[in-house]
Structures are given as structure tokens and as C-alpha cells.
Amino acid sequence: MTALAHERPETMTEIRTEPPNLSKNGPSLDEVLWQAWEAMELPEGYRAEIIEGAIEVSPTGRYSHSQIIFLLKEELGDFLRGGDFAVRQDTNVVHEGCVWVPDLFIIARDAERYVTDDELGLAAAGVRVVFEVVSPGKRSQDRDRVKKRREYARAGIPVYVVIDDYDAQGTVTVLTEPRPEEADWVGVHRVSYGTEVAIPEGPAKGFAVTEAITGPARAKKRR
């Protein structure tokens, strides 16, 4: 399920690393949106994000979705153990009045310096890699494949990894070299399930998303 509120044109890509401050002439539309997001009380199992000027509410994923995240988090935790970076989830990532809750992301193990002033989340400036596992349904797929692809590029997050059960027989796409002004990426490496793909840079450099995480290629697309 996805609920939308107040959409702004895609050309408006202003960025804040902290929540918007109220203007002297009263709140702007972005400020009202932020206030509405802060005031939301959702039932257990739902999360709210601000993506491209709209509040989107979505449920937690089905088993296959959570299983990929579980396996990915275990492998990443082992890969990063003992270093300066760690993998996190269920945390708000904040950037220019936008709020995202990635399935997983990598940030400094000591992330205190990235906590927002209101302590509602972590600034996107500290995120080094973000992972999304695509859920079924057109809105969910558009959110990870299109909207968040643009949003994470605008924020300048160095690496975005999309694990997608619903693209052909399953694909993993690694996006690098974000271009914030264009809301797009220079590096796009997409492989089918069953083909190992490694993260090429950052604290997770050399970490491979393998069939052990995604499972094998699907016999047919699942909706």
C-alpha cells in the first residue's frame, strides 16, 4: 500500500541535510510536508518516507524480501567486522527535507556525528552504500527502480545496489558515480541472479552479491 501527499515537480531538487526550518512568513509546502511526516502514527509493520516531495507509506515486505535482507546483512556484517564501518537498517536517512528508510545501508560504525539535530535519523552525507530489495507491485517497483534511484543520486550517495526479484528472472544492479545535478548515475552494472557482482568502491569494496544471497534465477517473473 502506498499513500501519497503533496507532490512537487521533479525539477525541484533542493537539498537539506537537516529538517527544514520554518520561514518568517509561515511554513512552506516542504515544511508542512515535514511536519505531517513527523506527526504520523503508523500501525506496526508500516513505514513512512518522504520521496520526491511526497509522503509514501509502505508495509514491510513478504518472506522472500526479508530473507534476502537477512542474508545480505549477515554477509555484510562479516565482511565489515572489525573495521570503521557497519551495516544498519530500520533507520531514517535524511537529506534536504527528504526521508528514506533503506532496506540496508553502510555508514561509519561511530555514526554519532551524522545524527540530525532533531535526532530523528542520520544525514545522508554519511552513507557510503545503500541497498534496496524490490517489493512486488508497480508502486513499490517504481519507488526503488526510479524514484529512489534519482533521490540517492541527488544526495550523492556513492553506491546504490538494487536487488530485484521482479526484473526478468531476477537482477542485481550496482550504480556508482552519482551525478546529483542530473539525478542519475554514470556507472550502471546489471547482472542476472546467479552471476556474482562486486561493489567496486568504498568500505564494502570487493563485497560480492552472490546466488547465496539472492537465490537462483527465477523460472518466471513474479508479480
In the chain, the domains with their CATH numbers are 29-214 (3.90.1570.10)
82 contacts: CB under 8 Å, gap ≥ 6: none
Strand-pair partners of 164: 171
All three cell numbers of 71, joined, read 542474508
Rounded to two decimals, what is the model's pTM? Answer: 0.80
d(C-alpha 159, C-alpha 128), whole Å: 7
Strand-pair partners of 190: 173
Strands (E), 67-181: 85-88, 93-95, 98-100, 104-108, 122-123, 129-133, 159-164, 171-179
112 contacts: CB under 8 Å, gap ≥ 6: none
* Spatial contact of 57 and 42, defined as CB atoms under 8 Å apart: yes
d(C-alpha 148, C-alpha 199), whole Å: 19
Single out the residue of 158, 101, 109 nearest to residue 133, CA to CA.
101
| pLDDT tens-digit profile, the chain (223 residues) | 333 333 333 333 333 344 555 445 667 777 887 788 777 787 777 777 777 777 887 776 678 889 999 999 999 999 999 999 999 999 999 999 899 999 999 999 999 999 999 899 999 999 999 999 998 889 889 999 999 999 999 999 999 999 999 999 999 999 999 999 999 999 999 999 999 999 999 999 999 999 999 999 976 544 4
d(C-alpha 164, C-alpha 17), whole Å: 29
Q: Helices in the chain by DSSP H: which ranges? A: 29-39, 63-80, 138-142, 148-154, 211-214
Per-residue pLDDT tens for 109-123?
A: 999 999 999 899 999
- Neighbouring CB atoms inside 10 A of 118's CB total 11
Single out the residue of 216, 213, 187 nearest to residue 202, CA to CA.
187
Per-residue pLDDT tens for 76-114?
A: 999 999 999 999 999 999 999 899 999 999 999 999 999
195 contacts: CB under 8 Å, gap ≥ 6: 172
